[in-house]
Amino acid sequence: MENVVLVILLIFALALIAVVLLQRSEGGGLGMGGGGGAGGGVMSSRSAATALGKVTWFLGAGFMAASVAMTIIAANNSADGSVVNGLTDGAGVEQTAPVEDGTSLLPPTVDANTPVVPAAD
């Protein structure tokens, strides 16, 4: 289920990017913006902007809904345990969590009462 929502989220994101890039710049912030000619077609430039605006709002709402759904699904899947429970060292051996009863976490070959002296370089 998580993969399905992730694919839907990616589709919404790509479609939203495409629709935003298709829109005409009204502020002229980049020095572009082009004016619509006086000659009309089936759709004038203003109605096209309104239609793209509605599509943008729809895609934005869908993107937000898919994001919330993805967050809920991910939270439910991770409720079973902690990230620390799945940690392994480089050799694939699971690491142990710290012991709270005061016992040492040193390897069994090292005596806890023997001081550890760093090797000379």
pLDDT in tens, 11-45: 999 999 999 998 877 665 555 555 555 554 455 55
Q: Number of structural domains, the chain?
A: 1
> Would the pTM of this model clear 0.85, i.e. be above it?
no
In a domain, 19, yes or no: yes
Residue 3: which domain range? Answer: 1-23+50-78
In a domain, 1, yes or no: yes
43, 46, 47, 51: CA torsion to nearest 10? 120
In a domain, 37, yes or no: no
- Regions of the chain where pLDDT drops below 50: 40-41
CA distance 27 to 54: 19
In a domain, 45, yes or no: no
Axis-axis angle for helices 2-22, 45-77 (nearest 10): 160
The two structure tokens encoding residue 9: 């989220």
Sign of the four-CA dihedral 49, 12, 83, 77: positive
